[in-house]
Structure 1
Amino acid sequence: MSDQLPGLDLDAFAAWFRGHRPDAGHDWAAELVAGGKSNLTYRVTDGTDRWIVRRPPLGHVQATAHDMGREFTVMSALAGTAVPVPGTIALCDDDSVLGAQFYVMELVEGTPFRDAEQLGALGEETTAHLCDAMVDVLAALHTVDPAEVGLDGFGRPEGFLARQVNRWGKQMAGSRTRELPDGDRLLAHLASHVPTDGGAPGIVHGDYRLDNLLAVPTDPQPVKAVVDWEMSTLGDPLTDLALLVVYDRVATMVPALGVSDASSAPGYPSPDALMTRYAAARGLDVDALTGAMEFHLGLAHYKLAAILEGIHHRFVAGQTVGGGFEHIGDAVEPLLAAGLRAATGKD
């Protein structure tokens, strides 16, 4: 561990944190948690106890992205439900401490499984068990009544999908570094095909995938915590399911991207199997669910492309921390082309 890292002034953090934990020690150290290409996540210790600190990335930050308050609020609300989340400790809105909003949460022991090699070492049966739990936790999240956990004002579910199209269009426009004609065509198609008969709104994670879960795969309940809630809101739950399917495809589109290729591991369910288990867990008709997914898959491709273009923007500007960013931009155009095919029923 290091005593100083970009974006984390440990002296300033320790002085602030003692306002919440007066008995904290004095032997402070921290390390940047590997794998994050968006918000910065640090493992921090006072020499005795350990916590996780989350803050936005350095440099180019979209106004609607990297909202630490959203993460803190939704995880605090979900504590005690069937959705496992880390315990939250404190949120800091004072930018003078670390230069941005940040929060502290408990450290949960578990592994974020990112690739087929990791899952291959578990074996096919254990991988299937873990993935079944991944889908079941997503279904459990979507059955939580927002009002019962104090989140009825967390978002505006009316017009959610139209706002999503508008939001990610603006996000792309604010981050794009080049012409993206398939992106323009996909955005126009989505804007003119927003579903008007969506189901009941629910709590949407916004970035649900296997490596945003901390897991102990051999445990009867392997998912120990769902993390990275920065894009959470109230809205159409199928957006989470669609994004999960798209994440499972992106590694094969651009192998050099270095993103999770977990879906190629033996035992990892196919998209049809994912949707079938999800439908069963929520009591939905699987055929109706499959038929509703064209728009959502198109939107999921566009959303992921916008996120990656934003990361590429920061990389080009020299504002990223750590490695593994040089191929991020290569995935944007294939994602937009695949999204256009999916949204128009050609894939």
Structure 2
Amino acid sequence: MTDSYADRLVDEDALRAFLDDELGAVDAFSVRRHRAGHSNETLFVTRGDDEYVLRRPPAGETAEKAHDVLREYGVMDALQDTPVPLPETVLACDNESVIGAEFFLMRKLDGDVVRDEEPERFASAGHRRRLGEELVDSLAAIHDVEPAEVGLGEFGHPEGFAERQVERWSQQLMWAFDTTADEREVEALYDVMAWLQEHVPAEHPHALVHGDYKLDNVMFAPGTPPELVGVFDWEMSTLGDPRTDLGWLLSFWRDPDDDPAVAEAFLPTFVAEPGYPTRQDLVARWEDATGYAYDHDRFYRALAVYKLAGLGEMFYARHLQGDADDPLYPRMRDTVPALADRAQRIIDGDAPL
């Protein structure tokens, strides 16, 4: 690693010594930063013939609970013997003196994370539909886990989860506004905040939730048909309301008639191509697989876009603080207001499922 921000992420000599003690010494060792993500940092570690992925928080100040990598490791480790597709966990380290932050290590999987472009091998109607089905089926597998049976019975407090989501993301928005308000304000988010507070469902199902489930947080194996082999980015997972996961997935999914200009920084365009399931298709398959009803659609989709706006505002704050070099972050100056408008249109019924 050669740039100044990357050098803040890991002391390579200290990491090598730590891993040699834990896993045995090797001759070859290298570390490479993976720049595709926008939240926790991902580093590729090669030791001898073995390849690993290291996850750690970003450098600099972060919002409370927004980058908990040890929580991420704990749930992934607990789910190793379940139908949920995951990489193999290796170890976790809570000693921040090793690389400057807590971190964990997992085996590297082979395959593709489908982010901005459709893999050529998936460009047929049958493969496109199967990709969407694999995506929803793996989400349903998460929601089907019995938490107590895998040691996650105390992993969270599902009662009142949706209400706490509104409160927590409002707090994180306010954390970001402390930095961003001098540059520009997003008044519409206060209206969305008030509507969400008034329309929290009185009851909701209880299940293990991923917290950040979307297309570019999963990996598909090489070859066809599409086979989902790994679910990543579990730092927001807990016990809560599974409909928040589905609402979040839907907020990243385009239908053919959607306005392509809305929050294009976050949304893949290719899933609107012929053959991909629509949002209604995804909902119907999830309902069939889980037995849950996707009630209160406007609340869950508006909440998802509100959270996305909160995430974008935290990105923008970190950009202004000089704690990130991600080219996406400065774009949040204009993207967050567009997200606020999108949330309001969902609330008003102008952006139906």
| TM-score, normalization by structure 2 | 0.90
1:112/1:214 contact within 8 Å kept: yes
CA distance in 2, matches of 1:251, 1:216: 31
2:34/2:44 contact within 8 Å kept: yes
Change (3 A) 1:197 1:258: closer
- Tell me how far 1:19 sits from its aligned partner: 2.7
Change (3 A) 1:117 1:251: farther
Paired residue type of 1:31:
R
- Tell me how far 1:93 sits from its aligned partner: 0.7
Paired residue type of 1:9:
D
- Say which is worse superposed, 58-67 or 216-225, in terms of deviation: 216-225
CA distance in 2, matches of 1:221, 1:264: 17
Who is 2:298 aligned against?
A: 294
Who is 1:335 aligned against?
A: 339
Paired residue type of 1:171:
Q
- Tell me how far 1:217 sits from its aligned partner: 6.2
Paired residue type of 1:205:
H
CA distance in 2, matches of 1:120, 1:48: 29
Who is 1:248 aligned against?
A: 253
Who is 1:67 aligned against?
A: 68
2:144/2:207 contact within 8 Å kept: yes
SS of equivalent to 2:298: helix
Measured against aligned partners, the alpha-carbon deviations of 1:238-295 in whole angstroms (never above 9, x if no partner) come to 00100111112499344662653342233221111111111111234xxx52x42111
Matched, 1:160 2:161: yes
Total equivalences in the alignment? 341
Change (3 A) 1:256 1:344: closer
Paired residue type of 1:155:
G
CA distance in 2, matches of 1:80, 1:221: 22
- Tell me how far 1:316 sits from its aligned partner: 2.1
SS of equivalent to 2:98: helix
1:5/1:30 contact within 8 Å kept: no
CA distance in 1, matches of 2:146, 2:62: 32
CA distance in 2, matches of 1:268, 1:214: 17
Who is 2:9 aligned against?
A: 7
CA distance in 2, matches of 1:338, 1:119: 31
SS of equivalent to 1:95: coil
Matched, 1:214 2:215: no
2:218/2:228 contact within 8 Å kept: yes
CA RMSD of aligned residues (A): 2.2
Measured against aligned partners, the alpha-carbon deviations of 1:132-189 in whole angstroms (never above 9, x if no partner) come to 1110110111111111111111111111111111100000000121322111011111
Who is 1:264 aligned against?
A: 272
SS of equivalent to 1:32: strand
| 1:315 maps to which of 319, 326, 332 | 319
Who is 1:147 aligned against?
A: 148
- Tell me how far 1:344 sits from its aligned partner: 4.3
Change (3 A) 1:11 1:310: same
- Tell me how far 1:219 sits from its aligned partner: 4.6
Paired residue type of 1:180:
V
Change (3 A) 1:264 1:81: same
- Tell me how far 1:87 sits from its aligned partner: 1.1
Who is 1:276 aligned against?
A: 284
Change (3 A) 1:12 1:326: same
Measured against aligned partners, the alpha-carbon deviations of 1:16-73 in whole angstroms (never above 9, x if no partner) come to 1123202x31322111113111111011112321100000111121111100111101
Runs of 5+ unmatched residues, structure 1 = none
Identity %: 38
CA distance in 2, matches of 1:345, 1:157: 28
SS of equivalent to 2:250: helix
CA distance in 2, matches of 1:224, 1:276: 23
SS of equivalent to 1:89: strand
2:121/2:224 contact within 8 Å kept: no
2:247/2:301 contact within 8 Å kept: yes
CA distance in 2, matches of 1:251, 1:12: 49
Change (3 A) 1:234 1:344: farther
Paired residue type of 1:211:
D
Change (3 A) 1:147 1:219: farther
